[in-house]
Structure 1
Amino acid sequence: MQLKIMFFMLIALLTGTTITLSSNHWFMAWIGLEINTLAITPLIMNKKTPRSTEATAKYFIIQALASTTLLCLTTFNFWKTGEWDIDLTHPLPTSLITITLMMKLGIAPLHFWMPEVLQGTSLKTGLILSTWQKIAPLTLLYQLSTEFNTNMMIIMGLLSVLVGGWGIINQTELRKMMAYSSIGHLGWTLIIMPYYPNLALLNFIIYMIMSIMMFMTLNKMMQTKMSDISTSWSYSPPLLCMMMLVMLSLGGLLPLTGFLPKLLTVLFMTKKSMIIFTTLLIITSLLSTYMYIRLTHFMMMMLTPNTTASSTSWRPQKTFFSLFTLSATISTLLMPILPTIFIL
């Protein structure tokens, strides 16, 4: 793809998300979502392979179905209330609008397109799909947080955490693992959103930063399979160590950053006397934590951390950016701000 076309698509992505974020009108929010969908489609198909073509078709069909349903439901809401304002949503279509937005996010049980689409695209486009494309639908859910059917949100959140943990165990493809990781982390976000929307926002921001670090590292080392990780010490041992820490942070291990939103979610749900749901949430999240620990063991123990004796021509040049340092720091060392969050 030409650089000018790619730049135009990225600008369109930024524009679509900005329109949705800044609008309080259902039709304008829908337009922003449509711009996002149309802008990301050529980026998914950039590789020009049968798998990327299939991924593009799946993504476009699912997003078009969700957008059509959302437009019909918002029109029905206008018929009921006489207003297009997002804050004045009628209780009847609210649950269906929520399910439609979850389809756009890839929340279980509407998640089946997410792993296949990520597997069929490049790591850079996968980064956009896992982070930036989630912002607009999640913002609409944030605005609807006071109208949620709480039981439905908790059940779908628990199911997402379970599916994310169960699906990641059997994977050897790193892009599919990141897709199931996205499903699991969004499950944590959904569970706490009806009660503490700001904590749900913090949860998503931390997940987004950790995902950026993971995708950037995988793209830098050009790794797409689990078997590639054990032989990547020769590229950059420090970078692989940092990726190991980020994986443990994604698993939610203390004292890394990923433990922070999980701890706060469990504490706030316990304050709401939701002991059973909290216990189920912790148990289901152990599946993904086990897989991250297993993958870390695979990275650290399968090969001694020694670089090769001589530099060969096929080894890429090690050029790192300041964004690596910033993302790595936030992904692993944000836990000390916990007292500040409690004060706020």
Structure 2
Amino acid sequence: MMKNSSKLLFLFTLITGTLMTISANSWLGAWMGLEINLLSFIPLMNNMNNLKSSEASLKYFLTQAMASSILLFAVILFMMKSNMIFQNEININNYYKMIILSSLLLKSGTAPFHFWFPEVMEGLTWNNCLILMTWQKFAPLMLMYYLMIYKMIIFIIMITVSVGSLGGLNQTSLRKIFAFSSINHLGWMLSGMLINEYTWMIYFLFYSFISMNIIFILNILKIYHFNQLFSMFMSNKYLKILTSLNILSLGGLPPFLGFIPKWMIIQLLSIENQMMLILWIMLMTLITLFFYLRLCFSALMLNYPENNWILYNMMNNFNLKFYLILSFFSTMGLPIISIIYYMF
């Protein structure tokens, strides 16, 4: 088992690599930051209590190494462009952008380069899943914003939201369900990139907060599969209700917090006259609500005999108190932000 001091060191290196990438002045510097980020996350993935962690680490390393090789190859060719003669320089530049963008899509797990992402998620602990779903996507998404190829991005958005919606329908593992959910949310973030830089960042912050809220309680209760949710529903009715509402918030239902960034992107895309894109991502997101509702249907619609003893006392457990505070903002986010908006 890795010591806490070593974990903190690797986490610090992980954050440093991402900051190096987003603040780099050249593509070579951005590549170096991505490599530091990769090499610092691999040791965090190893867990002696999880037999699949070594397999997940190897899959993650091979995939990211291949993406980094493609990125470095395209950057070197792009830097050598001045010493070569091309008949159509504009088209050549677009080819380089497509290669670099494809490598970044592979790094972030965006469809159609998503095949490694659910398999790696299945072998990780919940804490590492949260890092992979949120922080590890920030640097590639930031670099993608610098390489916007409009037609290609729209095509990628439609594929991503479709794969994220349809891929999670037949899953029983919660980690794979949240992996395909993350792919679907990546489509919404890419849609925000069509508008401006701040839109997708706001969506990313909201998504990270809601995901942290859900994974926080799943990590405490050590729940990894669909059938394990029944034990949680039978143990405490407060956990049953709060977890179900947080899952619905992740799906983007009003009046929960997850509806705000989707609402914002839909309004801004309508200003850009992207009605077909709006219709497609909304229809695909409705499919994601199906397996979100499947997770909380048994909690909201069926009665379970509650145990005489309470496994988790919310009045005395600090972790569950903290979860109660986070859940309040997650479930009541839209009314709170609306009140603040009209007050100021």
Q: TM-score range by the shorter chain?
A: 0.7 to 0.9
> Whole-Å Cα distance in 1 between the matches of residues 158 and 339 of structure 2?
27
Deviation at 1:292, TM superposition (A): 0.9
Please list the CA deviations of residues 39-88 of structure 1 after superposition, one character each: whole Å capped at 9, or x if unmatched: 11122222365422211111000000011111111222222369xxxxxx
> Whole-Å Cα distance in 2 between the matches of residues 129 and 222 of structure 1?
18
Please list the CA deviations of residues 149-194 of structure 1 after superposition, one character each: whole Å capped at 9, or x if unmatched: 1121111112111111111111111011110110000111112312
> Whole-Å Cα distance in 2 between the matches of residues 127 and 93 of structure 1?
32
- Whether 1:173 aligns to 2:173 is yes
Q: In structure 2, what is the equivalent of residue 333 of structure 1?
A: 332
Amino acid at match of 1:208: S
> Whole-Å Cα distance in 1 between the matches of residues 309 and 56 of structure 2?
40
Q: In structure 1, what is the equivalent of residue 323 of structure 2?
A: 324
- Say if 2:110 and 2:160, in contact at 8 Å, map to a contact too: yes
Q: How does 1:178-257 map to 2 (within 5 A)?
A: 178-257=178-257
Deviation at 1:260, TM superposition (A): 1.3
Please list the CA deviations of residues 292-333 of structure 1 after superposition, one character each: whole Å capped at 9, or x if unmatched: 122211233344273x223689xxx94416653553244333
> Whole-Å Cα distance in 2 between the matches of residues 17 and 134 of structure 1?
10
> Whole-Å Cα distance in 2 between the matches of residues 70 and 292 of structure 1?
36
Q: In structure 2, what is the equivalent of residue 99 of structure 1?
A: 102
Structure 1 residues 202 and 305: CA distance shift in structure 2, 3 A: farther
Q: How does 1:75-86 map to 2 (within 5 A)?
A: 75-80=76-81
Amino acid at match of 2:207: Y
> Whole-Å Cα distance in 2 between the matches of residues 241 and 121 of structure 1?
26
Q: In structure 2, what is the equivalent of residue 135 of structure 1?
A: 138
Q: In structure 2, what is the equivalent of residue 164 of structure 1?
A: 164
Amino acid at match of 1:211: S
Q: In structure 1, what is the equivalent of residue 87 of structure 2?
A: none
Q: How does 1:66-77 map to 2 (within 5 A)?
A: 66-77=67-78
- Whether 1:309 aligns to 2:308 is yes
Tell me which moved more, 266-275 or 54-63.
Answer: 266-275
Deviation at 1:240, TM superposition (A): 3.0
Q: How does 1:7-18 map to 2 (within 5 A)?
A: 7-18=8-19
Deviation at 1:121, TM superposition (A): 1.1
Q: In structure 2, what is the equivalent of residue 40 of structure 1?
A: 41
- How many residue pairs match? The answer is 331
- Pick the aligned partner of 2:122 from 101, 116, 119: 119
- Say if 1:158 and 1:191, in contact at 8 Å, map to a contact too: no
Amino acid at match of 1:333: M
SS at match of 1:177: helix
> Whole-Å Cα distance in 1 between the matches of residues 68 and 253 of structure 2?
37
SS at match of 1:168: coil
Structure 1: tracts of 5 or more residues without a match: 83-88
Structure 1 residues 322 and 298: CA distance shift in structure 2, 3 A: closer
Q: In structure 1, what is the equivalent of residue 299 of structure 2?
A: 299
> Whole-Å Cα distance in 1 between the matches of residues 330 and 233 of structure 2?
21
Q: In structure 2, what is the equivalent of residue 86 of structure 1?
A: none
Amino acid at match of 1:328: S
Tell me which moved more, 39-48 or 324-333.
Answer: 324-333
Structure 1 residues 67 and 217: CA distance shift in structure 2, 3 A: same
Structure 1 residues 338 and 108: CA distance shift in structure 2, 3 A: farther
Deviation at 1:131, TM superposition (A): 1.1
> Whole-Å Cα distance in 2 between the matches of residues 100 and 122 of structure 1?
26
Structure 1 residues 309 and 159: CA distance shift in structure 2, 3 A: same
Q: In structure 1, what is the equivalent of residue 86 of structure 2?
A: none
- Say if 1:206 and 1:258, in contact at 8 Å, map to a contact too: yes
Q: How does 1:139-154 map to 2 (within 5 A)?
A: 139-142=142-145, 144=146, 147-154=147-154
Give the TM-score, by structure 2 length.
Answer: 0.88
Deviation at 1:195, TM superposition (A): 2.3
- Say if 2:232 and 2:239, in contact at 8 Å, map to a contact too: no
Structure 2: tracts of 5 or more residues without a match: 84-91
> Whole-Å Cα distance in 2 between the matches of residues 312 and 324 of structure 1?
16
Tell me which moved more, 245-254 or 290-299.
Answer: 290-299
Deviation at 1:258, TM superposition (A): 1.2
Structure 1 residues 48 and 228: CA distance shift in structure 2, 3 A: closer
Deviation at 1:16, TM superposition (A): 1.0
- Say if 1:172 and 1:226, in contact at 8 Å, map to a contact too: yes
SS at match of 2:273: coil
What percentage of aligned pairs have identical amino acids?
33
> Whole-Å Cα distance in 2 between the matches of residues 81 and 341 of structure 1?
51
Amino acid at match of 1:101: L
> Whole-Å Cα distance in 2 between the matches of residues 27 and 323 of structure 1?
42
Structure 1 residues 49 and 217: CA distance shift in structure 2, 3 A: closer
Structure 1 residues 319 and 119: CA distance shift in structure 2, 3 A: same
- Say if 1:209 and 1:330, in contact at 8 Å, map to a contact too: no
> Whole-Å Cα distance in 2 between the matches of residues 257 and 189 of structure 1?
16
> Whole-Å Cα distance in 1 between the matches of residues 21 and 38 of structure 2?
12
